[in-house]
Amino acid sequence: MPLTPDPSVIAKMAMFQGLEADDLRDVMGNARTRRVAQGTRIFSQGDPAETCYALIDGRVKIVQTGAEGEQMIVHFIGPGEMFGTLAVFTGGGYPADAEAVTDCVEISWSAATMTELMHRHPVVAINTLNILGRRLMQVQRRLREISNERVERRIARALLRLVEHAGRPVDGGTAIDFPLSRQDVAEITGTTLHTVSRTLSAWEERGIVELGRQKVTIRDPDTLTAIAEDLPGQAPATASVRGGSGG
Amino acid sequence: MPLTPDPSVIAKMAMFQGLEADDLRDVMGNARTRRVAQGTRIFSQGDPAETCYALIDGRVKIVQTGAEGEQMIVHFIGPGEMFGTLAVFTGGGYPADAEAVTDCVEISWSAATMTELMHRHPVVAINTLNILGRRLMQVQRRLREISNERVERRIARALLRLVEHAGRPVDGGTAIDFPLSRQDVAEITGTTLHTVSRTLSAWEERGIVELGRQKVTIRDPDTLTAIAEDLPGQAPATASVRGGSGG
DNA sequence: TTATGAATTTGATGCAGCGCAAACGGGCGG
DNA sequence: CCGCCCGTTTGCGCTGCATCAAATTCATAA
């Protein structure tokens, strides 16, 4: 994990597809590389957006906070992805916090540099449109899901997405590659940590997942998918999610 | 409302800021203008995205449909705004339907033309980044709101946003400039038309809004804001929203 | 080892808002 | 002018989930 990252890492990033070696040097020449420790706040909601970032290694979570302190995890960033780019194009402050959930290595550019870069290399702007477009589509889908679907299904979907995005195969299943608390899952799915805890515990009893502190391992992704998609042949565990025998 | 729209209309669009007169002619030369009647489906979710649009006049709603038919209104498009642009940059099909909610005049470009245009005029790509970025921020805010906030407040916010976006001053208040059913409001706020109807009726009794068929007029925006922001000094009408005297 | 605190589990209870069902009303075609 | 239809209102029962409260487990520092 050298502080001068392999240029090939940058060359692979979606944002810089279609650039020549010369242009890549141009890009890298204007960048700054930095290590950040787990737990570090990289930028805060409302800060003037003067810098945009790419993640080389580690995981970063993007968290939005409401007027009364309610938080929502907007996105998890993995290696090769950009973050903090939004506000750079729209002006104004960052719309959310960014926090390193593991030790990370990041590259950053000043907003001005990035804008220049895009004027010099239109393909970078178009690549970014592509990325931002996908992200917008994702968020819109999530918006529909969160309005129309039950909590259990939302949690199932969230786990499946996390596995896809950050799954690490382990003995007897797939784990999620960074610390993920029940509270985190709640802030992804728009529910409370209590409900998440109950739901996951019920799933653990059914052998679908295995739980640990800030850790979830998926043992039976098919059943999870069945829950997420409401496929027939898999009885929902709704009843047992509630207080057990109470009711 | 001529079928050959005033070039100055295009010149004013956010997307084409910073273009010279020559370039604007380039842009317009590749565009196609069309009238569409109220109710027309302009494109459908899943259709291959070969065209992107700008609205000259009228209103268009963008609606996403889930696997089981649940719908969510993602956005209302007004004059001067682009739509159907997302999928053009990301490839694949449109992520939602577009439907004219009033008689409209639209301009359209083929996806290929628009991409060329952006390569020729990087500023257009960067403008689009700006627009898309703003939209993404909006959707993210809405996502947090819908996860953490009560229905009544979501409805209040939705109305205020509609007023801002499409308000028309009328005798004794501000009306919304296009037909808007209770079902529509439900699909914006992620609730049911029943709950919307109850909430709005309660507000009408308090003199906050005035209701009609596919029509809402805001009489007391301050109280509405108070509800949306949970300001002190305005008792919520929560109790009366439910079955009236029942309970 | 023990103390301290964070993350998690679990219970009990209440209620917001959903689902169903039925009635209402006004505009439009005939 | 009448009858139909769509958008809307309203009532009622029910339940999914939030909320409040407290116990329990585990990790780290002392």
Tell me what ipTM this predicted complex has. 0.89
Beta strands in chain A (DSSP E): 32-36, 41-43, 51-57, 60-65, 71-77, 82-83, 97-100, 104-110, 167-170, 173-176, 209-212, 215-218
Structural domain of residue B99, as residue ranges?
7-145
Domain end marker among A145, A177, A205: A145
- List the CATH number of the domain containing B159: 1.10.10.10
Q: Do B66 and A137 touch (CB under 8 A)?
A: no
Do B159 and B211 belong to one domain? yes
**Cβ neighbours of A91 in B, within 8 Å:** 130
Domain assignment of residue A125, yes or no: yes
Do A166 and A45 belong to one domain? no
Do B114 and B210 belong to one domain? no
**Cβ neighbours of A132 in B, within 8 Å:** 129, 132-133, 136
Average pLDDT value for residue range A22-30: 85
| Mean of pLDDT over chain B | 89
Domain end marker among B145, B170, B197: B145
Which of B66, B96, B123 is closest, CB to CB, to A148? Answer: B66
Q: Is the dihedral of CA B85, B86, B88, B89 positive or negative?
A: positive
Would you state the pLDDT for residue B10? 80
Do B120 and B156 belong to one domain? no
Band (A55; pLDDT cuts 50, 70, 90):
very high
Q: What percentage of chain B exceeds 90 in pLDDT? A: 75
Backbone phi and psi for residue A239, each to the nearest 5 degrees, phi listed first: -60, -45
pLDDT for B104-119, tens place per residue? 999 999 999 999 889 9
Do B52 and B126 belong to one domain? yes
Would you state the pLDDT for residue A67? 86
Q: How many CA atoms lie within 13 A of B189 on its CB side?
A: 29
Would you state the pLDDT for residue A182? 98
Domain assignment of residue B93, yes or no: yes
Q: Do B132 and A129 touch (CB under 8 A)?
A: yes
Q: Which token pair is A74?
A: 């907007």
As for how many domains chain A has, the answer is: 2
Domain assignment of residue A239, yes or no: no
**Cβ neighbours of A129 in B, within 8 Å:** 89, 118, 125, 128-129, 132
Q: Do B67 and A229 touch (CB under 8 A)?
A: yes
Domain end marker among A128, A145, A162: A145
Do B162 and B114 belong to one domain? no
Domain assignment of residue A63, yes or no: yes
pLDDT for B134-144, tens place per residue? 999 999 999 99
- List the CATH number of the domain containing B131: 2.60.120.10
Classify strands A51-57 and A60-65 as parallel, antiparallel or unpaired: unpaired
Contacts of residue B40, defined as CB under 8 A and 6 or more positions apart, other chains included, come to: B99, B100, B104
Closest CA to A189 of A223, A142, A231: A142
Give distance CA A170 / C1' C3 (Å): 35
Distances B24 to A115, B84, B124 between C-alpha atoms, Å:
22, 20, 11
pLDDT for A190-208, tens place per residue? 999 999 999 999 999 999 9
Do A139 and A153 belong to one domain? no
Tell if B184 CB is < 7 Å from nucleic strand C. Answer: no
Q: What percentage of chain B exceeds 70 in pLDDT? A: 90
Domain assignment of residue A1, yes or no: no
Would you state the pLDDT for residue A143? 95
**Cβ neighbours of A119 in B, within 8 Å:** 122-123, 126
pTM score, whole prediction: 0.90
Nucleotides of C under 7 A from a protein CB: 7-13, 16-21, 26-27
- Nearest DNA or RNA nucleotide to B214 (CA to C1'): D7
Q: Do B87 and A119 touch (CB under 8 A)?
A: no
Do A109 and A16 belong to one domain? yes
Give distance CA B240 / C1' D20 (Å): 25
